Structure 1
Amino acid sequence: MDIRNESTVTEFVLVGFEQSSPSTRALLFALFLALYSLAMAMNGLIIFITWTDPRLSSPVYFFLGHLSFLDVCFITTTIPQMLIHLVVMNHTLAFASCLAQMYLVFGVGVAECILLAFMAYDRYVAICHPLNYAQIMSRQVCVRLVSTAWFFGLINGILLDYMTFRGPFCKDNHIENFFCEAPIVITLSCGDPQFSLKMIFADAIVVLLSPMVLIVISYARILTSILGRASSSGRGKTFSTCASHLTVVIFFYTSAMFSYMNPRSTHGPDKDKPFSLLYTIITPMCNPIIYSFRNKEMKGAMVRALGRSSLAQARSV
């Protein structure tokens, strides 16, 4: 079935911040541009050092590099468009562009959920089975886990895109957000949106709660292992290796669960936008900062990378 042939709506209007005053939009543009630039620079630096620094060859940094790559993809699907709309008066988005944007948000977001679960499993193996860590988390296993996250993310994106755009659109085409968010788009359909909303809610339960179960089980066993150790200093050092990952999980899952697992009656533009901003720009920006500030090896690798860059510039001059 050709969705567009069933639709009288050929484009959507992203309301975003268009009702704000010009001075407020200028301030928001400067703020979001700075946050976007910081997120891209930090994630780009982590991708570079985890893929080029031989000292960061362990599985945890392999996963971290892919997490940063997912963050770069995730933030680029929404924020540049929002920055443009803060400057220009035309806030329209073609039907196909809205569909593609939503697919990328779904695909990358689901892949990140699954990857965060695999990172929790990696910490469990490293702490509870240190002698067999290299064998269990071999390079081949890590590649398969990352490929699995991408595969299920992209397949799930197809399903959710279909559920969102399965019905014709012939009503209001104004989206009360700065990007095409599925629950809002579904309510604009001419048909009964309840089935699609329930399917997306059910999918969110599986996609969000299944990885969360793995995360909870992994950290429950990690906690049991930590408490069984006699040295309090050993406990603190072991838990510090997990604190960064836990912080990222809390940020990402809190915002995603509010957006896709709450009844739509509790939502509104004033509630949706802050949480949308949290998981589309704040979380991707905070992830590399959280990991780099709490990890001595990461800070050392960043210093070495920046030092090499400065030396190369000095030689070129």
Structure 2
Amino acid sequence: MVFSINQDVLLDTLNVIQRGLPVKTPLPVLNGIKLEVFDDHLIFTASNTDIAIQTIVSDESLEITSPGKVVVPGRYFIEIMRKIVSSRVEISLIENKMMVIKADRSEFKLRVMEAEDYPDVDFLDLGKPIVMEAKTLKAIIKETNYATSQYEKRPILTGVNLKHEDDKLYCVATDSYRLSQKVLPLPADYEPFNIVIPNRSFDELNRTLDSVNDEVSMFINPNKVLFKFKNVLFQTRLLDGVYPDTLRIIPKEFPIIVKFNKEELLKAVERVSVLSPREKDNNYNIVKLNIRPDYIVEVSSTNNEIGDAVEEIVPVEDVV
């Protein structure tokens, strides 16, 4: 196995693939990145059993002398690529036991593992996808994932619920104290689904999408969901269980609608929360909102050991 490639191209690929490396694993081989070299392209694979990522590299800077496949220590390989200042690197394999990385006057040798020892990653068969812009998917993650639970008492709440119903895609997250919902149109010709994606998987997907502006295709089955964009496959397991029917929780009608300046409201909450007590179970600050008969809202907090705070906010429009 021998090939050479521009350092920046390889590093960009590794920065994506590292999202699939485990923090801890009982299988040492999963700490590695599976590298497959073909006649005209490279395939990189990483998996931590929850997330699996695969990238295909066929850049014009790639020159392949001979094919092969191997598992290379992931974090060391990535760190070497980050430290190299050469614009080009050459990678070769010595007797299937040692990978040699050459860059200008630098040379690194890494002990490798057999590619056959790497567990097979079962990526989904590609059927009809749900296609959306990357910015739309990033907005879904940003506007929902923060509301998921960080505790394992109710595992199903540690993920974001995606449900196709009534020509709409409902994206919902709740930790039982707060709830965030984003609704998008989705034609009825898609099969109905109701899945829960782990919050950590969404976090890693969001980081992977940082520089992506293309369309993203989403493929779903009962156990996994696969996101395909550019030259990347990002697959994650789904959470088991039935997600609470949050549509029943959200009122369909509101007797009072009061509109505020968003920044003014946020700053008021920040100021008042300085003295607010924290709940022991979830570490949240407790702040109270009271709508007076004149529709001015009082934001307040009371701490029996420290003191109290209150601030008034005036609506920006007439109350509906």
TM-score, length-scaled by structure 1:
0.21
| Structure with bigger RCO (C-alpha 8 Å, 6+ apart) | 1
Q: Quick check: which one's helix share is greater? A: 1
Q: Quick check: which one's strand share is greater? A: 2
Larger radius of gyration: 2
TM-score, length-scaled by structure 2:
0.21
